[in-house]
């Protein structure tokens, strides 16, 4: 994705007007480049060049001034936080510690946004200079060296980027340490291997802090009046903080999220954890036991939330799961995979108009991000209606463990927990920038036969490119399918046995403008 679109997607809404006006500067540069030909420069080149240089210098000054103002705001936040800590240091109560932890979270997020603000703008100016030298030729822009020299003066944050960011990292560490010092000495966090069987309600306040607890929560009963339980793992940190929920196997055949949760809980250290981590490795236990995608009544559990309307088995289960467990969360990461006969890329569905869910999506470092406000009946959509920040993470294929995708998704979960100041974690460099899709949809067959889908997942296709063929049982091609528009292959059907109306592939449409409501039905 081009830098201009990346800039739009990663901007903080609050600071949007303070970023580099990258697109306008690129347009001015292209106007200037059009005045150069093999025969030489047009008469108006010198004046246009002068205007372009003035525009860049003005942008540097404007963005730098904005950065310094924003940095001072963050400094003031940190100063107030330290003063509040000193005032309460001698008499910290659980309630005041909780408030203080929340303030630390807000402050550290402000520092994170400031760091990203500086990095995005610095990258923008660097790319602009490189683009200028490429379009006009280094020999034609001696002034570019002078413009770079502007950055080296002590008044410009761009010249001090490494030092500035080191200072910011130190401030984040200071924020993290503020309430650590208030804790009493403690032993290493304990793992309660006893599996507790509890009633319908998950009472997080009743669980011991600085420990991991394993629970079986009863939501409904079977026809023998025996409890139908779901497994719940809870890591209660020694410090107060957010409550993050992670759910897997809402569909019984979607398994990649299970080992992710296992590895996360093997690595988590409750003695330094700020907040509570709740994980349900298998939500749809009946579907899981039966090697089935659906619930016991055949319903797609991810289409019946919040479980309202005429009651049935799946709706009652969904309603109790939502209100007795999920309602306790402040953040939700819902882990899925493709369904039987299909394969998926590693991608995220999130409401890209919401600053927090957009940030969570980027922190996952996926191959693709799809703007989706949550379909009716989905767990994510129901959670969002309760004010919970929720994303869906699609981790590859069904009925298998894919270690590469599991590892990538786990890194993304750690990134989110680090961003929320729950764990000490440095976000690693991205392997690639994700493709951003403003919408997506499935293509379907209109004839039956043997289906061959040509493009691989996570690859781009062009409009009118051949994407699939259907053959009859004798091997004759009866229908060819072409891409209706440019897009990226998010997922595809790999089952060749195709009935009329079966899926072909899931096509993502790139874009940076996001509709208020976007529902692809998935």
Query: Do 195-420 and 439-510 fold alike per CATH?
Result: no
Under DSSP, is residue 399 helix (H, G, I), strand (E, B) or coil? coil
Backbone angles phi, psi at 503, to 5 degrees: -75, 150
Q: Helix/strand/coil (H, E, C) string of 319-337?
A: HHHHHHCHHHCCEEEEEEC
Residue 297 DSSP one-character state: T
343 DSSP β-pair partners? 492
- Residue 270: CB atoms within 10 A of its CB come to 24
Write out the CATH class of domain 439-510.
Answer: mainly beta
pLDDT score, position 185: 39
Q: What is the CB-side half-sphere exposure of residue 322 using CA atoms within 13 A?
A: 26
- Those residues with Cβ within 8 angstroms of residue 278's Cβ, 6 or more apart along the chain or in another chain: 202, 204, 232, 233, 234, 235, 243, 244, 245, 246, 325, 328, 329
Burial-class residue 16 by CB neighbours within 10 Å (0-12, 13-18, 19+).
Answer: exposed
Q: How far apart (Å, rounded) are the C-alpha atoms in residues 354 and 373?
A: 9
What is the DSSP secondary-structure string of 451-502? Answer: EEE-SPTT-EE-TT-EEEEEE-TTS-EEEEEE-SSSEEEEEEE---EE-TT-
Which tokens sit at 162?
């490494």
User: pLDDT 10s per residue in the chain (522 long)?
Assistant: 677 777 777 777 777 888 999 888 989 988 888 888 877 888 888 898 888 888 888 888 898 888 888 888 888 887 877 777 776 666 666 666 666 666 776 777 777 778 778 888 888 888 888 888 888 877 777 766 666 655 555 455 554 444 444 454 444 444 454 444 444 433 445 555 667 777 778 999 999 999 999 999 999 999 999 999 999 999 999 988 999 999 999 999 999 999 999 999 999 999 999 999 999 999 999 999 999 999 999 999 999 999 987 789 999 999 999 999 999 999 999 999 999 999 999 999 999 999 899 999 999 999 999 999 877 799 999 999 999 999 999 999 999 999 999 999 999 999 999 999 899 887 777 777 899 999 999 999 999 999 999 999 999 999 999 999 999 999 999 999 999 999 999 999 999 999 999 999 999 999 878 887 776 655
Is residue 342 a contact partner of residue 494, using CB atoms and an 8 Å limit? yes
Burial-class residue 63 by CB neighbours within 10 Å (0-12, 13-18, 19+).
Answer: buried
Task: Give this prediction's pTM.
Answer: 0.76
Q: Helix/strand/coil (H, E, C) string of 170-239?
A: HHHHHHHHHHHCCCCCCCCCEEEEEEEEECCCCCHHHCCCCEEEEEEEEEEECCCCCEEEEEEEEEECCE
Q: How far apart (Å, rounded) are the C-alpha atoms in residues 68 and 507?
A: 43
pLDDT score, position 437: 95
pLDDT score, position 146: 61
Q: How far apart (Å, rounded) are the C-alpha atoms in residues 339 and 396?
A: 10
Question: Does residue 494 have a cis bond before it (omega within 30 degrees)?
Answer: no
Q: How far apart (Å, rounded) are the C-alpha atoms in residues 505 and 456?
A: 10
Long-range contacts of 86-93 (CB under 8 A, 24+ apart): 89/182, 92/179, 92/182
- Residue 442: CB atoms within 10 A of its CB come to 17
pLDDT score, position 466: 98
Is residue 15 a contact partner of residue 8, using CB atoms and an 8 Å limit? no
What CATH number has the domain spanning 195-420? 3.40.630.10
- Residue 131: CB atoms within 10 A of its CB come to 16
What is the DSSP secondary-structure string of 65-95? Answer: HHHHHHHHHHHHHHHHHHHHHHHHGGG--HH
Q: How far apart (Å, rounded) are the C-alpha atoms in residues 390 and 336?
A: 13
Q: How far apart (Å, rounded) are the C-alpha atoms in residues 520 and 522?
A: 6
H or E segment to which residue 279 belongs: strand 274-280
Domain ranges within the chain, ordered by starting residue: 3-182, 195-420, 439-510
pLDDT score, position 116: 78
């Amino acid at each position: 994705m081009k830098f201009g679109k990346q800039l739009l997607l990663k901007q903080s809404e609050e600071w949007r007007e303070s970023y580099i006006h990258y697109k306008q500067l690129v347009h001015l540069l292209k106007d200037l480049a059009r005045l150069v030909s093999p025969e030489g420069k047009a008469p108006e080149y010198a004046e246009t060049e002068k205007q372009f240089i003035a525009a860049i210098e003005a942008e540097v000054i404007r963005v730098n001034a904005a950065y310094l103002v924003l940095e001072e705001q963050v400094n003031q936040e940190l100063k107030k936080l330290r003063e509040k800590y000193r005032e309460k240091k001698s008499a910290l109560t659980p309630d005041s510690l909780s408030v203080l932890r929340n303030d630390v979270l807000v402050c550290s997020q402000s520092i994170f946004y400031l760091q990203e603000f500086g990095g995005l703008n610095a990258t923008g100016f660097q790319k602009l200079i490189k683009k200028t030298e490429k379009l006009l030729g280094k020999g034609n822009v001696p002034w570019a060296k002078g413009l770079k020299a502007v950055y080296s003066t002590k008044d410009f944050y761009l010249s001090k980027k490494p030092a500035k960011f080191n200072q910011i990292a130190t401030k984040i560490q200071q924020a993290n340490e503020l309430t650590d010092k208030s804790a009493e000495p403690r032993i290493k966090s304990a793992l309660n291997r006893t599996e507790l069987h509890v009633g319908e309600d998950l009472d997080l306040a009743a669980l011991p802090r600085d420990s991991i607890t394993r629970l079986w929560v009863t939501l409904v009963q079977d026809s023998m009046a025996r409890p139908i339980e779901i497994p719940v793992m809870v890591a209660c940190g020694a410090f107060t903080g957010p409550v993050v929920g992670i759910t897997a196997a809402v569909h019984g055949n979607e398994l990649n999220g299970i080992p992710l949760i296992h590895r996360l809980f093997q690595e988590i250290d409750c003695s330094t954890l700020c907040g509570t981590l709740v994980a349900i490795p298998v939500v749809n236990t009946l579907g899981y036991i039966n090697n089935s995608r659906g619930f016991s009544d055949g319903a797609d559990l991810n289409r019946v939330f919040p479980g309202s309307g005429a009651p049935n088995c799946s709706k009652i289960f969904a309603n109790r799961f939502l209100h007795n467990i999920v309602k306790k969360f402040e953040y939700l990461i819902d882990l899925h995979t493709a369904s039987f006969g299909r394969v998926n890329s590693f991608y995220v569905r999130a409401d890209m108009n919401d600053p927090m869910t957009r940030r969570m999506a980027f922190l996952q470092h996926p191959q693709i991000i799809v703007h989706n406000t949550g379909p009716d009946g989905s767990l994510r959509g129901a959670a969002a209606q309760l004010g919970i920040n929720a994303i869906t993470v699609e981790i590859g294929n069904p009925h298998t463990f894919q270690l590469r995708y599991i590892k990538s998704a786990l890194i993304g979960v750690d990134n989110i927990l680090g961003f929320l100041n729950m764990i000490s974690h440095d976000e690693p460099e991205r392997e690639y920038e994700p493709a951003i899709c403003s919408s997506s949809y499935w293509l379907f067959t209109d004839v039956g036969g043997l289906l061959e889908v040509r493009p691989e997942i996570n690859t781009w296709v062009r409009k009118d490119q051949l994407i699939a063929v259907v053959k009859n049982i004798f091997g004759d091609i009866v229908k060819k399918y072409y891409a209706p528009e440019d897009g990226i292959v998010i997922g595809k059907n790999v089952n060749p046995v195709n009935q009329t109306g079966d899926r072909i592939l899931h096509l993502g449409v790139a874009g940076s403008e996001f509709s208020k409501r976007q529902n692809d039905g998935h």
